[in-house]
Amino acid sequence: MVTLPASGNRVNVKQPPTPGVRFPPPVIFGVSLAIGFLLQRFFPVALLETSGNSPLRLIGGIFLILAASLALCAFLALQGVHTPIRLDRPVSSLVTHGVFRLSRNPLYLSLSLAHAGISLSANALWPLLSLLPVLLVIRYSVIAREESYLLERFGAEYEAYLHSVRRWI
CA–CA dist 153, 168 (Å, integer): 21
For 72-79, which contacts have Cβ atoms below 8 Å and span 24 or more sequence positions?
73/98, 73/99, 73/106, 74/98, 74/99, 74/100, 74/106, 74/107, 74/110, 75/107
Instruction: Flag whether 14 is in a domain.
Output: no
pLDDT digits (tens, 9 = 90+) for 141-158: 999 999 999 999 999 999
Helix (H) or strand (E) holding 11: strand 10-11
Instruction: Flag whether 133 is in a domain.
Output: yes
With pLDDT > 90 as the criterion, what percentage of the chain qualifies? 78
Instruction: Flag whether 15 is in a domain.
Output: no
Instruction: Flag whether 132 is in a domain.
Output: yes
Instruction: Flag whether 2 is in a domain.
Output: no
Q: What's the confidence (pLDDT) of residue 3?
A: 44
Cα separations in angstroms, 17 against 121, 152, 156, 166: 40, 10, 18, 25
CA–CA dist 135, 144 (Å, integer): 12
Residue 1 clears pLDDT 50, i.e. is over it: no
The residue ranges of DSSP E strands in 92-154, in sequence order, are none
Instruction: Flag whether 59 is in a domain.
Output: yes
Say what the alpha-carbon torsion angle 90, 91, 92, 96 is, to the nearest 10 degrees.
Answer: -170
Residue 50 clears pLDDT 80, i.e. is over it: no
With pLDDT > 70 as the criterion, what percentage of the chain qualifies? 89
Q: Considering its fold, how many domains does the chain have in total?
A: 1
DSSP string, 44-61: --BSS--SSS-HHHHHHH
Range 10-38 average pLDDT: 84
Q: What's the confidence (pLDDT) of residue 19?
A: 87
Instruction: Flag whether 7 is in a domain.
Output: no
Choose the weakest-confidence range: 48-52, 74-78, 85-89. Answer: 48-52
Q: Which range marks the domain in which residue 78 is found?
A: 21-164
Among the listed residues 51, 36, 33, 37, the one whose alpha carbon sits nearest the alpha carbon of residue 113: 33
Instruction: Flag whether 12 is in a domain.
Output: no
Residue 44 clears pLDDT 70, i.e. is over it: yes
Helix (H) or strand (E) holding 117: helix 106-121
